[in-house]
Structure 1
Amino acid sequence: MTSPEGAPGAGASLPTDPRRPVSSSSFSGWRAVLTYWLMRYRRIWPSTVVSSFLAPLLYLAGLGYGLGSLVDGPGGSAINGVAYVAFVATGLVAAQTMMTGSGEATYNVLAPIKWTYNYYAMLATPIRVVDLVRGQLVYILIRMTMVAGVFTAVATALGAMSGAWVPAVVVVAVLTGMGFAACTFAYSAGITDSGQGFNILQRFVIMPMFLFSGTFFPLEQLPTGLQAVAWVSPLTHAVALTRAFGLGPDSPLWLEPWRFGVHLAVLVAMIAVGYALAVRRLTKRMVV
């Protein structure tokens, strides 16, 4: 592998090979990367409060309670017998982890390659490319757990979620965030411009899924053709799960066992494919 143009030691080979046999010290490689990201987060965490915690709660208050007062009629709710605030809260928790997970894997991946050269410095040690990916994804896993846990706790306290299955909402939301984080990591590892590709990702992938995956209204409200397109979105599967678990077995939105299996399989497959692609593309980018 060679250093990028303008980086310290440009033109010199760095002694790393992601294909070398795994030694005992390799098992600590990803933990060292995780420690770096945790130490970094300790310095910047105040800047994440609005995007990770306050913004989704404002969505919940504005849409769930504000718009919900118009959607819910005097005799009940117009959304499958479910109060609109509960409908929105159980979908928004998955949508928020999608937004946070994808955001954590954009510039935080491109910058260490293109501008700060942190990845190059790490790879000059026994740390391997696979350790970079694992360590950073574990850090994102911790972030997803914080975001999903806080949102679910607040929504439960407000009465928007209830029942013994509420903890499963956090699990599904974390899986959702990790799936989008892993796939975005793979995408970011191949970005060669100054981040214009992230605008395309946000405008034409993330935002349409945020709006048209059942977060704010039932998919049945869409034309039949668009419903089929919506079910292609991984977020649709995530929202179906968080809504079922957040509302409980007595809800009309509870799912048949086979549907739980299909939705979970989509999220797990997304994580597995995204992780494999992330390692492959980062290796191709960093190692020659």
Structure 2
Amino acid sequence: MSTGVFSVFEYYLVGFRRAWPATLLSAFGLPLLTLLGIGLGVGHYLTTDFDGIPYLRWIVPGLIASTALNLAVGNSTWPVLAKLSWTGTYGTQLATPLRVADILTGHLAFVLFRVLTSCLALLAVAAGFGALGSATALLTIPITLLLALSVAAPTFAYASAVPSETYFSALSRFAVMPMSLFAGVFFPISTLPEPVRVLAYASPLWSAVCLIRAAVQGVPTPWPAAAHVLYLAVWAALGWLAAYRLFRRRLAG
């Protein structure tokens, strides 16, 4: 991490240091309620195992991945547009020796940090339920960060391209919600019609769910693991390049 990127990252950490106690309830409370309500509640009425795994354990990888997805999107929409259009934070940072790449990458690093802390909390809750079935469960951490980057970087580009926050509801309605519902989080995508299944395959969330499920439960991935990783990396790289070009255009204007 370069000095400029670290300086931007440190700027966000200073602000987060004052606000982190307010995140504890959502970090631990929501995963606990979700596992109780869906994992145990819904799972109680399911008479068959999923891939030979009880539903409570089967759903944990999907919950980790969808949590990372929603956190990455939430921290890459309004905060980015606000700093570009409302508060002028990015413009102020650019007036220092910081470069556009430093500003973009430092903010992305903070988004990954937020995702990391929340997903560690979710892993701790899942471990308390005995839902981590493999010693390789710690591989969930780099997979989750890669998913967060593959989602956050394109969302940064989207947030810097739209004229107002009203466009974020379309992003949620037509991208985030369908991915959360149809990318293997709550049920296997093999139960979906073929056209919908193809859309699920195109989702970065599905690749992350497959990788996390393999890490947590020791099951094989539908594609080679390297293909899933490469797919997520392509999303992250193309998203960063698009965000960089749009940031440079907006901040130069």
TM-score by length of 1: 0.83
Pair 1:156-2:127 in alignment: yes
CA RMSD of aligned residues (A): 1.6
Indicate the residue corresponding to 1:16 in structure 2: none
- Alignment pair present for 1:280 and 2:245: yes
User: Match for 2:52: what amino acid?
Assistant: G
Asked if the contact 1:152/1:170 (under 8 Å) is kept, the reply is: no
> How many pairs align?
253
Question: Which runs of structure 2 are paired with 1:93-108 in the superposition (5 Å)?
Answer: 93-108=64-79
Q: Which runs of 5+ in 2 are unaligned?
A: none
Is residue 11 of structure 2 the alignment partner of residue 28 of structure 1?
A: no
Alignment partner for residue 40 of structure 2, among 50, 54, 65? 65
Of 36, 43, 46 in structure 1, the residue corresponding to residue 21 of structure 2 is 46
Cα distance in 1 for partners of 2:7, 2:243 equals: 19
Q: Residue 172 in 1 paired to residue 143 in 2?
A: yes
Paired with 1:143 and 1:201, the residues of 2 have a C-alpha distance of 21
The C-alpha deviation readout for 1:43-74, integer Å capped at 9, x for no partner, is 22234334444223322221001100111x2x
Separation in 2, partners of 1:125, 1:205: 36
CA change 1:126–1:240 in 2 (3 A) is same
Q: Does residue 56 of structure 1 match 2:31? A: yes
Question: Is the 2:68–2:147 contact (alpha carbons within 8 Å) kept by the matching residues of 1?
Answer: yes
The equivalent of 1:111 in structure 2 is 82
CA distance in 1, matches of 2:224, 2:138: 19
Does residue 213 of structure 1 match 2:188?
no
Compared with structure 1, are the counterparts of its residues 57 and 270 closer, same or farther at alpha carbon in structure 2 (3 Å cutoff)?
Answer: farther
Q: TM-score, normalised by structure 2?
A: 0.94
Whichever structure has more helix as a proportion of its residues is: 2
Match of 1:17 in 2: none
CA distance in 1: counterparts of 2:27 and 2:147, whole angstroms: 15
Could you say which structure has the larger radius of gyration?
1
Q: Deviations over 1:161-188 (max 9, x none)?
A: 1222100112211211121111111111
Q: Which amino acid letter does the alignment assign opposite residue 42 of structure 1? A: R
CA distance in 1 between partners of 2:49 and 2:217 (Å): 16
SS in 2 for 1:231: helix
Q: Deviations over 1:186-214 (max 9, x none)?
A: 11111212x01111111111011001100
Query: Residue 139 of structure 2 aligns to which amino acid in structure 1?
Result: A
SS in 1 for 2:184: coil
- Provide structure 1 residue ranges, at least 5 long, that are not aligned to the other structure: 1-25
Structure 1: distance between partners of 2:27 and 2:75: 11
Query: Which shows bigger deviation, 229-238 or 56-65?
Result: 56-65
Tell me the equivalent position of 1:269.
234
Q: What do the CA deviations read for 1:141-175 (whole angstroms, capped 9, x no partner)?
A: 21122122121122122111122210011221121
Q: For residues 221-275 of structure 1, what are the alpha-carbon distances to aligned partners after superposition, in whole Å with 9 as ceiling and x for unaligned?
A: 1112211121111111110111111112xxxx3237x621111111111111111
Structure 1 distance, partners of 2:183, 2:2, is: 39
**What's the secondary structure of 2:135's corresponding residue?**
coil
| Residue type of the alignment partner of 2:252 | V
- Which residue in 1 is equivalent to 2:220? 254
